[in-house]
Amino acid sequence: MHLSKREFLAASAVLALAAGLRSANAATAINYWHHFASQSEMAGLAKIIQLFAAANPDISVTQESIPNSEYMAKVSSAVVAGGRPDTGMVIAERFADLTAMGALVDISEHVNTWQGKANLPDNRWTGMSNEGAIYAVPAYAFVDWMYYRKDYFDEAGISAPPKTFDEFLSVCRKLTDPSKNRYAFGMRGGAGGFKYVIDVMEAFGSPLVKDGQAAIDKPAAIEAITFYADLFRKEKVAPPSTPNDSYRQIMEGFRTGQTAMIWHHTGSLIEISAALKPGEQFATAPMPAGPKAHIARVAYAGNGIFKEDNVEAAWKWISFWGETDAAIALLEATGYFPASTAALKDQRITGNPIYAAATQTLEFGRLPNSFVGAAGWSENVVNPTFQAVLTGQLTPEQAVDRMIEGLEAALR
């Protein structure tokens, strides 16, 4: 076939136009880093991606799961070396570090013109804002509460879950029977255990940081560490493996019947419900109150934009998580409490008695401590120091001294 010069140019123009149209219609691809890992979490995420794709056919989302323990390592490497994702998951505990390292894009303008903002009260945004700028859209909340073996309580003639630390100790004594390999409290002494050490310190009246300075009240902190460590050291109401027990171990201990109570958040409800019958074998209750304060964390988690390349598509994706459909899809799959007040009114929450303790906790719960260096201090100082108290290597006094010293160094 012979083409004249004119025909060739015309054909080229048509092809170029077609290619242009095709690329104009092609979906904008964005990627999303998160630390969901369990089957239920992945099912919830898949459902959200599916709902988002139906509502936004012009945007395709590629998700990448990073183990929670490695998440900050990967994000910080991406910040230093390049290769940031378009969007990523942001939890309250990590927010200060993420903004300090410049990992997040300011989305205040988008948020302020977004209709969904009305469903998210101010306290949802507090943990996602810094110096007046908003960096992430809250999507769900981890509400701290207590899981307890209702059948063990019934068996021991205990009518209600403990409301204070004194009652907690008294119940612990009644429920522990090492000869049956049964312990009252699945204490988290291994990775992540710092969370509850800090909670107990605050419950005994010791703050951590005030106006950017270390503000641990030494006598209160010593009292708190002594009380909490003595549950293992003196009272022996926690299993012998406590100093190395992290999430997996406390969960197995509770599921297999070794322990009668654990402190965790709403996120493990689905996993526990799969092993034990809600309302019969286990129930939930608000965390017991300390002598000076009633501490339970309500940690809002959300999503932020990590780079500005596809900011409009990225915004659509992260704001979609704050909408009711997405929140309910995640709740159904994982049991994660919605951040949106519209989703909280859903029958699946209001009609389920197991969620009553979480709804109650929302009224008094506090946001997690958020200051630059909090994660490093908690994991690298509080955790090993408290472990050393549990194993008799340090006294509570020495441990508190080291915590203060470490906190001052972290804040410098």
Partner 1 sequence: MRRVSMTSNSRRHPFSSLGEISETRYWVYLLLLPSLLLLFLVVAYPTIYGFVISVREMRLTRPGLNGWVGMKHYISMMSDRVFWISLKNTAIWVAAAVMIEMTLGFIAAVALNRNLPGTRLFGVLILLPYFLPNVVAGHMWALLLDPRLGVINDILVRLGFLSSYKAWFADPNTALAATILVEAWHGFPFFALLFLAGLKGIPEDLYKAAAVDGAGSFTKFKLITVPMLKTVITAAVILRVISLVNSPDLLLVLTGGGPGNSTQVLSLYAFQTAYRDFNFGYAGALSVVMFFILMVFATIYIRLSRITKE
Side-chain half-sphere CA neighbours of 10 within 13 A = 5
CA 126, 124, 268 angle in degrees (round to 5)? 120
Nearer to partner 1, 90 or 410 (CB): 410
* Residues 6+ positions from 119 with CB-CB distance below 8 Å: 322, 324, 340, 341, 342, 343
Nearer to partner 1, 313 or 389 (CB): 389
Q: What whole-number distance in Å separates Cα of residue 277 and Cα of residue 126? A: 36
Nearer to partner 1, 119 or 385 (CB): 385
In the complex, minimum distance from the CB of residue 91 to partner 1, in angstroms, rounded to a whole number = 15
Closest CA relative to residue 352, chosen from 337, 362, 363: 337
Under DSSP, is residue 342 helix (H, G, I), strand (E, B) or coil? helix
Phi, psi of 106 (to 5 degrees): -65, 120
Nearer to partner 1, 240 or 353 (CB): 240
Nearer to partner 1, 71 or 125 (CB): 71
State the alpha helices, DSSP H only, in 87-217. 92-100, 108-112, 122-126, 150-155, 165-175, 194-203
Nearer to partner 1, 52 or 232 (CB): 232
The two tokens of residue 96 are 């200060």
In the complex, minimum distance from the CB of residue 190 to partner 1, in angstroms, rounded to a whole number = 7
Under DSSP, is residue 142 helix (H, G, I), strand (E, B) or coil? strand
Nearer to partner 1, 220 or 394 (CB): 394
Residue with tokens 């999430």: 247
In the complex, minimum distance from the CB of residue 377 to partner 1, in angstroms, rounded to a whole number = 8
In the complex, minimum distance from the CB of residue 342 to partner 1, in angstroms, rounded to a whole number = 35
In the complex, minimum distance from the CB of residue 192 to partner 1, in angstroms, rounded to a whole number = 10
In the complex, minimum distance from the CB of residue 76 to partner 1, in angstroms, rounded to a whole number = 5
**In b/e form, how buried is each residue of 330-355, taking b as 16+ CB within 10 angstroms?**
bbbbbbbbbbbebbbebeebeebebb
Nearer to partner 1, 249 or 340 (CB): 249
Q: At what angle do helices 218-233 and 383-390 cross, to 10 degrees?
A: 50
In the complex, minimum distance from the CB of residue 238 to partner 1, in angstroms, rounded to a whole number = 11
Phi, psi of 386 (to 5 degrees): -65, -40
Q: Which residues bind partner 1 (CB under 8 A)?
A: 72-73, 76, 79-80, 96-97, 100-102, 181, 189-191, 239-246, 249, 252-253, 256, 258, 372-373, 375-376, 379-380, 383-385, 387-391, 393-394, 410
In the complex, minimum distance from the CB of residue 309 to partner 1, in angstroms, rounded to a whole number = 21
Nearer to partner 1, 242 or 340 (CB): 242
Residue with tokens 């109401």: 237
Residues in the chain: 412
In the complex, minimum distance from the CB of residue 258 to partner 1, in angstroms, rounded to a whole number = 6
Residue 146 near residue 284, CB atoms below 8 Å: yes
Q: What whole-number distance in Å separates Cα of residue 165 and Cα of residue 203? A: 9
